[in-house]
């Protein structure tokens, strides 16, 4: 059977796949991208974009409460038209879809709305039997949410199902203690749901700095989220139109309208013909790649969540762009540096982090010093709010190089970006102290930590 020829074939039209396709086309390559689902993958459709829209609505709800305390004439319980919010959110996402398709058309990338699998190291077979040959094949198929296996688990949803809700649920159980569970708990509580967070472990966000994770848990409690640590869900069952959870070390009255699992994600590697082609997978099913995104097969590469390595949208985009620069742009050493990647958990307030936690720093360096700032932001103080901000800086060595910055508080998501640049550049504590603070702001506390 004859095959269509391209320079690059990309499997997946999410953030990483689109970035690879656009950058390759920019280098003059002939590119085909396979994606049967809406463009943008998890991030645009059931991830960071709709999540941020819901977070913004939740943030407004909290500010309306503070506004009343400051003297504005607003009702005690403002009514939210959930369907209108969702319509606005989906309109925003539809505009992104349109923008992506327009750019594909302008750059000449051939979008093929079918699934594909590796036929061999230089050939992709579409589900209709069409063969595509290419010098370079990029796998960017992303990941999907997982459900645990126990009786009645089918009664619970995952994060994708949260975005399909047609109305606000009255009482919700969120199972998990990672960033997805934390984010959904904060959004739902701020928008009026009663929320129980059922965490199998002993703290939230185990991969983040423990001190700030503990403060985040306290903030959630102040906002009315029920936190149950060491809690294991053993079964779910229907009971009088609701969902009853059988728990070990959980609340006695475990009846919920909605149960959502936030218990991890797995790479989308099944059905791609990877093993047959010689592409190696790790024990979690993720594609094994080296520092340059190479798989075990020459000419086959992988980027983004399908590799299980720093599963963040900007990481997938950056890795894909550098890969194409290396393969097609005359930059043989181009690769993504995975050290000091900033990230934010959109809790209420958000938690931002870059670099090492205190524990990680102490495991790596002989001398570690930490600095803190704890305060109540001005709006919280004016409105008698109880949520507090905690900033932390981790320094190492005699010159006190800043190896970690961790911010929990209002605007942490916006503040962190500039300081992430500083950490990446090797800033020291002395240089931070020598920087004049902008007053009055929360950001000034980063350079004033003691």
What angle in degrees, to the nearest 10, is found between the helix axes of 82-107 and 48-70?
A: 140
- Burial of residue 168 (CB within 10 Å: 0-12, 13-18, 19+) is middle
How far apart CA 144 and CA 163 sit, in angstroms, is 14
- Catalytic pick among 27, 228, 406, 439: 439
Alpha-helical (H) ranges within 71-146 are 82-107
Cα atoms in the Cβ-side hemisphere of radius 13 Å centred on 321: 11
DSSP E strands in 130-211: the ranges are 131-139, 143-145, 171-175, 194-199
Tokens 């423990």 belong to which residue? 210
Quick one: CA dihedral 209, 214, 218, 220, positive or negative? positive
Distance CA 203, CA 197 (A): 11
372 among known catalytic residues: no
Q: Are 267 and 146 in contact (CB under 8 A)?
A: no
Nearest to 139 by CA among 291, 34, 38: 34
216/205 Cα distance (integer angstroms): 9
Catalytically annotated residues: 439
């Amino acid at each position: 059977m004859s095959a269509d020829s391209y320079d690059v074939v990309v499997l997946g039209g999410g953030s990483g796949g689109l970035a690879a396709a656009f950058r390759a086309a920019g280098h003059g390559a002939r590119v085909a991208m396979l994606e049967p689902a809406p463009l943008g993958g998890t991030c645009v459709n059931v991830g960071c974009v709709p999540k941020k829209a819901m977070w913004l609505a939740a943030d407004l709800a909290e500010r309306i409460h503070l506004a009343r305390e400051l003297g504005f004439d607003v009702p005690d319980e403002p009514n939210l038209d959930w369907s209108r919010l969702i319509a606005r959110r989906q309109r925003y996402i539809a505009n992104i879809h349109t923008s992506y398709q327009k750019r594909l058309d302008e750059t000449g990338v051939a979008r093929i709305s079918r699934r594909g699998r590796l036929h061999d190291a230089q050939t992709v077979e579409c589900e209709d039997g069409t063969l595509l040959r290419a010098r370079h094949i990029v796998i960017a198929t992303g990941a999907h949410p997982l459900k645990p296996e126990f009786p009645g688990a089918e009664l619970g949803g995952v994060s994708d199902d949260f975005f399909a809700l047609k109305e606000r649920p009255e009482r919700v159980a969120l199972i998990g203690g990672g960033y997805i569970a934390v984010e959904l708990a904060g959004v739902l509580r701020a928008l009026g749901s009663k929320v129980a967070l059922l965490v199998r472990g002993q703290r939230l966000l185990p991969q983040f700095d423990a001190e700030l994770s503990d403060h985040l848990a306290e903030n959630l409690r102040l906002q009315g989220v029920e936190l149950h640590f060491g809690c294991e869900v053993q079964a779910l069952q229907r009971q009088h139109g609701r969902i009853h959870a059988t728990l070990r070390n959980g609340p006695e009255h475990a009846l919920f309208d909605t149960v959502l699992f936030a218990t991890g994600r797995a790479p989308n590697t099944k059905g791609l013909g990877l093993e047959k082609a010689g592409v190696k997978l790790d024990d979690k099913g993720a594609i094994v790649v080296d520092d340059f995104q190479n798989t075990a097969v020459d000419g086959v590469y992988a980027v983004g969540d399908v590799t299980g390595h720093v599963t963040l949208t900007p990481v997938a985009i950056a890795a894909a762009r550098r890969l194409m620069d290396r393969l097609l742009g005359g930059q043989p050493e181009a690769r993504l540096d995975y050290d000091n990647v900033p990230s934010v958990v959109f809790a209420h307030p958000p938690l931002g982090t870059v670099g090492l936690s205190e524990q990680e720093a102490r495991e790596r360096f002989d001398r570690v010093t930490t600095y803190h700032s704890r305060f109540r932001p001005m709006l919280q103080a004016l409105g008698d709010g109880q949520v507090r901000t905690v900033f932390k800086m981790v320094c190492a060595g005699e010159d006190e190089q800043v190896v970690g910055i961790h911010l929990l508080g209002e605007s942490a998501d916006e503040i962190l970006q500039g300081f992430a640049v500083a950490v990446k550049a090797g800033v020291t504590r002395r240089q931070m102290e020598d920087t004049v603070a902008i007053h009055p702001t929360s950001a000034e506390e980063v350079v004033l930590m003691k």
